[in-house]
Each structure stands twice: as C-alpha cells, then as structure tokens.
Amino acid sequence: MTWNALDAYDNGLSFFSEIVEAVPADRWAAPSPCDGWTALDVLGHVGEAASVGARILRGGELDFTRHDPPSSAVEGDPAAWWSARATEARDALTGATDLDREVDSPAGRRTVRDGLSFPAVDLYLHGWDIAAATGRTVGFPDDAIVFINGVFDGVPDEVTRRPGVFAAAVSVPEGGDATTRLIGWAGRDPEWAAD
C-alpha cells in the first residue's frame, strides 16, 4: 500500500500540537506510559525527532545526538519549545514533494516516504502517551488509524517488538475501539493512568 507520508506527518504534527497545548504547566513532570519517562521526556524525544526529520527533508547535515534524559532537550516553556519544532518541521515539509527521493536518516538511506512514516506514527502514539500522562483520553482520527496500520502491515514482529520500538502487544477488552486496539498493539496498556 502507498500512502502520503507528508500528509500523515503534517496531520500528526497537528494532533500532537493540540495535545501539547492542553497540558497544564504542573503536569509535565507526570509519569508517562513510556517506562521511566515523564510527559516532558516524551515531548523532548518527539521534538528531537522532529528536528532530525526537518534536517532529513532539507538534505542537511544530520546530528544524531540524543539528550539523556530526553526532557533536557526542552528549553523554556514546553509548549513554545514544541511550537518551534513543529514550525521547523512544517517548513521542511513544504519543500518536500518527491516521496521516493532517497535521503540519509538515522536508519540509513531511505525514501522520504519511509523516513517520515515512523515519525508520523510516533506523533500519534506519543501524543496519546502525553495525554494519558496528564489525565486526558484521546482517540486517533480514522485516517491516522488506517495510516498506522498500513505502515506496519506485513512488518515482522522481530522488527517492531524490540527496545526503542514497541513492547509486546497488550490484550485489550473485547469490543474496544480502534484507538484502544492500536494502543494495545503498540505495547501500551489502554487503561494506563498516571498516579
């Protein structure tokens, strides 16, 4: 299946941005569903990935330096910091029209389509993580669910079930909605709640 990774990434930026803007200032230190990470760590991780993605799209020099903890990447107001990363990513998207162009990425040479697909997925899943960390419930838009399922359709478990990608799938209640099923597939407990 072929999908428009540019649209999926742009839509993911909007989804993630709406969640970030709704986080109360006192909730950034809350634990998240990502083991050992706070909501601010999740934000730092996604923001760093967005900056790398923008450099990939522009064909710029890649810097794979990662902050540990990821929250140390965030400077000043978290929402303002993220807004700058999202603007940088959107600006880079406007110049990217050839989805089959090969670019350097942290995973080696890839097409723009492949290079943006996983970061687009991350925007939705980590958006859910931040929402859960701050006591909110969010659902994924239907087009995001179709996109995410398409990205991983036919990808073997040994590729996705490893550190830094996804934990083992979590059982979800029968009859759960599409977001609940996807969250469980991605190794997250859909019932997870901060303290």
User: What is the pTM for the complete model shown?
Assistant: 0.92
Give the type of residue at 80: A
Check which CATH number belongs to the domain holding 69 and give it: 1.20.120.450
| Residue 45 resides in a domain | yes
| Residue 19 resides in a domain | yes
Give tens-digit pLDDT for 130-160. Answer: 999 999 999 999 999 999 999 888 888 887 7
CA gap 73, 81 in Å, rounded: 9
pLDDT at 3: 61
Higher per-residue pLDDT: 61 or 155: 155
| Residue 167 resides in a domain | no
E strand spans, the chain: 102-105, 108-111
| Residue 24 resides in a domain | yes
Degrees, nearest 5: CA angle 2-5-7: 115
pLDDT at 194: 79
| Residue 188 resides in a domain | no
Is residue 73 packed enough to be buried (19+ CB in 10 Å), middle (13-18) or exposed (0-12)? buried
2 band by pLDDT with thresholds 50, 70 and 90: low
Give tens-digit pLDDT for 24-53. Answer: 999 999 999 999 999 999 999 999 989 888
| Residue 31 resides in a domain | yes
User: Considering its fold, how many domains does the chain have in total?
Assistant: 1
pLDDT at 108: 76
- Residue 126 pLDDT greater than 50, yes or no: yes
* Residue-range definition of the domain harbouring residue 79: 5-135
| Residue 86 resides in a domain | yes
Give tens-digit pLDDT for 63-122. Answer: 667 888 999 999 999 999 999 999 999 999 887 777 788 877 766 788 877 878 888 999
pLDDT at 82: 99
Q: Which residue has the tokens 């073997």?
A: 156
Question: Quick one: tokens of 137?
Answer: 């419930």
| Residue 117 resides in a domain | yes
pLDDT at 1: 46
